[in-house]
Every structure is written in C-alpha cells, then in structure tokens.
Amino acid sequence: MDFILSQLAGFGTAFVGLAVDPLTYLYLIASVFLGITFGALPGLTATLAVTILTGFFGNKIPLDYSLIALLGAYVGAIYGGSYPSILLNIPGTAASAATAMDGYPLAKAGRGGEALGLTTTASFIGTVIGTITLLIFVWALLLVSKNIASPEKALLALFGILLSGTLMSEDLVIKGWIAGLIGLAMSMVGLDPLLSEPRYTFGWSYLMSGFQVVPVLMGAFAIPQIIDGLRHVEAGKVLALKGRILPNLRSIRRYLPTIGRSGVIGTGVGALPGVGEDVAGWVSYGVGKTVSAEGNKFGKGSLEGLLCSETANNACIGGALIPLLVLGIPGSPPAAALMGAFKINNVIPGPTIDPEIILRVVAILVLASLTMFLMGLFTARVFIKILAIPQTIFLPVVMVLTTIGSFSVGGGINDLYLMLGVGAVAYFMNLMKYPIAPLVIGVILGSLFDETFRRSLFLSDGDLSVFFSRPGAAILLVLNIGLILSQLPVAKRAFSRLKGLSV
C-alpha cells in the first residue's frame, strides 16, 4: 500500500509540475492534433507521426517538451485511425484495421456519432489503463531488472528481435527473422563498442560512429510510405455523421467490462517486445468474439466489437512503454521511434533510467489522453473534414518534413544519403513482404546485443555456459530456442495435431 501511495505521490508531483506550465498545453494540443490528423489520413501512420516528430523535436527542445510532443502524437495517431475506419471503411493505421469491421456498418446504420463517441471514450479509458499498468509494473520490473546482467540483456535483445520478426511477418516467419538480422547487421557498422575496432566503414569517416537512429527511422518508415502512398486513390465517400458524439453514461457503464478486458489485453500485448498496436487490436477483437454474448454480431456492426479493438490499441501504448523504459527494448514500432528520441537526448532507457523520467512519461500520457478525449468529443467534425484531403497533397509535405528533420539531427547531408539508402531497402522489403519493424528494432538493439554478448564472453573467458548457468539467462535461452523451434514445420504440424485432439 505504501508503495502505491508513494507512486501516486510521485506521479502527482510530476503531473502538477507539467500542468502548471502553459507551454505544456501548447505542445499537447499541437501534437495531439497532429497525431489525430496523421492517424485519420490513410497512408500516414502512428509510427510515421512519432518518427517525423523525433526528427523535428527530438533534441531541439527540453526533453519534457520533446516527450509531450512525441507521446501526444503517439496517443493521437492511434486514436485518429478510427475516423477513416468508421466513416470510410479504410483503416487509417494498421492498428485500426479491426475497427473497420464493426465501425463502418455502424456508421452505415446511422450510428456513426454513437460509434465515434464511444470509440473516443474507450480509447481514453484504454490509454489510462495502459498508463496505470505502466506506473505500477514498471517499478516492480525495474527492481527485477537491476539484477539483470550482460548475458540476460543479450538474450533479451535477441528475444525482442526474434519475437518482433515472428509476430510482425505477414508472409513467411523467416522473412521477419531476416529483417531482424539485417537490422542487427546494420548496427555492426562503425567502431565496435568494446575495442573501438572499425567495422564495415569502407574508409568513410561518417560511418565510424555507426548508423544514426533518426535517419534510419525516417528511411525505414517514411520513404516507403511516401513512395507507396503517392498514387491516385479516389477519395472514398465519407459517410455523414449521424447522432450525437457525446456518449451517455449508461452505454459507457454497459460496455465497461468489455473496455476493461480489452484494456488489459492491449496492455499485455504491448508489453511484449516489438509487438505493436495492430496485433493488440486483433487479439482483443478475437478474444471479444469468443467470450462475448453477442460474438455472432461481430463484423456486422457490433459496438462491443468496435470497442474491443479500439480500447486495446490505445492501451497498448502504456504496455509498449514498459519494456522500453525497463529494459531499453521497444514494445512497438512507434516505441522504437521514441527510443530514438531518448537516444538523441542521451537518455538511456533501461535499469539505470532516471525514475523522474518515468513519472513524467506517465503524467504526459495522462495529459495526452485527456487532450485526445476532449478533442475527440468536441472537435471531431474538424478531423472528419481532414479525411477529404488526398494523400498526394499531404505526402510531398511529409517528404520535406522528413528531409529537414533528418538533416538537423546532426549528421548533415550524410544523414540524408543514409535515409535515402535505408528507404530504398525498406521499400523493396515492403514489396517482398518483409516486415520493417524488426529491422528497426534490430538497428536499435544491435549495439546492446553486441556489447552485452561480448562482455559476457569477456567476463567468462569465453565460457558459453554463462548463457545457461544463470537462472534468468537459462529461461531466456529456452524462450529464444522455443520461439525458433515453434516455427519449424514439424512443430507446427505437432501443434495442429494436438489442437485437433483437444477438440
């Protein structure tokens, strides 16, 4: 009890500190607005919003304001994806794909206002559930993580890359792993972290410091999106919004169990390293369909189905920040962009992170979700108008934003060449259905993996048993091996046979 009270007191201090600063509101309103706009425009994603703002705000303003801008955009964009899902039947972001299943039929039936109002409320409650979980669990995990040494860190980084590769693959799982390995390989460029041995620099001094995170993020997430999005798409007909947006308390109370369950699922999925909001939305939708009394109505305009995915994808935000803050392993692709922002501000997320930063992150998330809630309820019609803007107008401006953001982070023109090169690779990977998130997570975690893996070997004089003689390392090693083995065709066949037997 004392622990919870002290946590709440710390959170209260951070919250008041931010709330009394007028600049907080300027950054909050601007970033949440921008985030919702990015989410609402099909073709622009939450990851792109956070990535672009990382380049723009990353290290140019005090860390608090930078975090407000990035977290505000993150929260706003995940929520904003629901607008085109409900009114156009086109998911604004991958995270809202499940939302369209029930949102659009509801809008067609003249219940668009009700759907949007409840979605806004559920997204708000979902974000708060994720944030409270973050506030409570991050400390418990931080205590545990203090006992984590190099072998565990190396295996955990590997697990994050493997898990992200496994769950983010649209086609073959092996493609996700290859993407992760390409990311790891990219992180090997430059001076090695222990002996300063130059690796793959080809005599180019720029490469001595390795690939910078921001240009890689920009290249991987923005360039393919721009190339892919610049095509003429007939703007879909936005359904007229009927009914009042402000939800009544009775319907909120009625759907509270669904919102609560979906919030917990979303937070749990978000806490898995490298797994994003889209997976959270689908998992929650699937669970809802199984356990709900009106499961047979899912996909035909069920409010419960709508709330399952929308609550979970926003709750995922808090969850995704848990592994990021505790272990330095991003829980989702936008969290990977956030990690980039931390890095360029010389903040190293992980067991040694300043606890004040965690409290401020929690306070910012609460403020951002409140701003999103109010904007969603009272300015929804502005965002509906934004749905009519063609991508061909918006994406060229995004390209210019990306360029100046990438340039100004520090490396100058070389960073732009790197961004373009990574963008070309990412575009072809997209074309061949390789997921991009494991690549970025590989680049971000590569140096951690390299350093901790080799430090483990240094300290044990090359004795590989260091990776299974410690209990934590042994568990992680089993998880890594189990994850790989579970994807082998033999294992998959055995699983499906077992499933058949149990039925």
Partner 1 sequence: MDESDDTLIMRARDFWASIGLIAISTFFLWKTSDIPLWGENRAGVSGSDWYNSAAIVPLSIFGGLLGLSFVLLAISIRSGGAQNALSALGIGWDKSEAYRASTIGLMLLAYVVGLVPRVDFILCSGLLITALTYGYYGGHARRALVACVAVVVAGLFAFAAFPAQADWNARGDDWFTLALWVALTLVVLTKAASERVLRFVPLVAILAPLILVCAMAFVFRQNVPARGGLIFKQIEYHYYVTLRPLWKD
Stretch that binds partner 1, among 318-326, 371-379, 389-397, 490-498 (CB under 8 A): 389-397
Question: Minimum distance between the CB of residue 454 and partner 1, rounded to whole angstroms?
Answer: 7
184 touching partner 1, by CB under 8 A: yes
From residue 191 to residue 230, the character string flagging contacts with partner 1 as x (rule: CB under 8 A) and all else as - is: -x-xxxx-xx----------------------x--xx--x
27 touching partner 1, by CB under 8 A: no
Question: Minimum distance between the CB of residue 496 and partner 1, rounded to whole angstroms?
Answer: 19
Tokens of 138: 């991050």
- Of 161 and 364, CB closest to partner 1: 161
CA angle 301, 94, 387 (to 5 degrees): 75
182 touching partner 1, by CB under 8 A: yes
Nearest alpha carbon to residue 220 among 340, 63, 368: 340
178 touching partner 1, by CB under 8 A: yes
- Of 251 and 408, CB closest to partner 1: 408
454 touching partner 1, by CB under 8 A: yes
Amino acid at position 370, single letter: L
Q: What's the maximum distance between 2 C-alpha atoms anywhere in the chain?
A: 70
Nearest alpha carbon to residue 38 among 55, 50, 28, 29: 50
Question: Minimum distance between the CB of residue 319 and partner 1, rounded to whole angstroms?
Answer: 29
- 273, 95, 74, 401: CA torsion to nearest 10: 110
- Of 21 and 451, CB closest to partner 1: 451
User: Which of 4, 16, 174, 478 contacts partner 1 by CB under 8 A?
Assistant: 174
User: Which of 129, 269, 283, 416 contacts partner 1 by CB under 8 A?
Assistant: 416
462 touching partner 1, by CB under 8 A: yes
- Of 69 and 88, CB closest to partner 1: 69
153 touching partner 1, by CB under 8 A: no
Alpha-carbon gap, residue 382 to 358, rounded angstroms: 33
Sign of the alpha-carbon torsion through 424, 425, 427, 428: positive
Please tell me whether residue 199 adopts helix, strand or coil conformation.
Answer: strand
Residues 6 or more apart whose Cβ sits within 8 Å of residue 161: 180, 183, 184, 274, 438, 441, 442, 445, 449
Run of H or E residues at 225: helix 223-229
61 touching partner 1, by CB under 8 A: yes
User: Which of 23, 140, 256, 404 contacts partner 1 by CB under 8 A?
Assistant: 404
Sign of the alpha-carbon torsion through 366, 245, 248, 100: negative
Phi then psi for residue 346, to 5 deg, are: 60, 30
Residues that bind partner 1 (CB under 8 A): 56-57, 60-61, 171-172, 174-175, 177-178, 181-182, 184-185, 188, 192, 194-197, 199-200, 223, 226-227, 230-232, 390, 392-393, 395-397, 399-401, 403-404, 407-408, 412-413, 416-417, 419-420, 423-424, 427, 431-433, 449-450, 453-454, 457-458, 461-462
